[in-house]
Amino acid sequence: MNNEMKRFLHHPALALLARVALTFPFWGSGVTKILYFDSAIAEMTQFDLRRAIVFSIATIAVQLLGSILIIANRLAWLGAGALAVFTGLTVILVHHFWSLTEEPFRTIAFHTATEHVGIIGGLIAISILGARRPPAKRNSHGSTVPSRLDYR
pLDDT per position as a tens digit, 84-97: 999 999 999 999 99
- The predicted pLDDT at position 120 comes to 97
Please say if the pLDDT value at position 18 is more than 90: yes
Are the beta carbons of 26 and 83 closer than 8 angstroms?
A: yes
Mean pLDDT, rounded, of the chain? 90
Higher pLDDT, 42 or 136: 42
pLDDT per position as a tens digit, 115-151: 999 999 999 999 898 887 665 565 666 665 555 544 4
Cis omega (within 30 of 0) for bond into 104: yes
pTM for the structure as a whole? 0.83
Q: Return the domain boundaries, the chain.
A: 3-145
**What is the distance between the alpha carbons of residues 124 and 40, in angstroms, rounded to a whole number?**
27
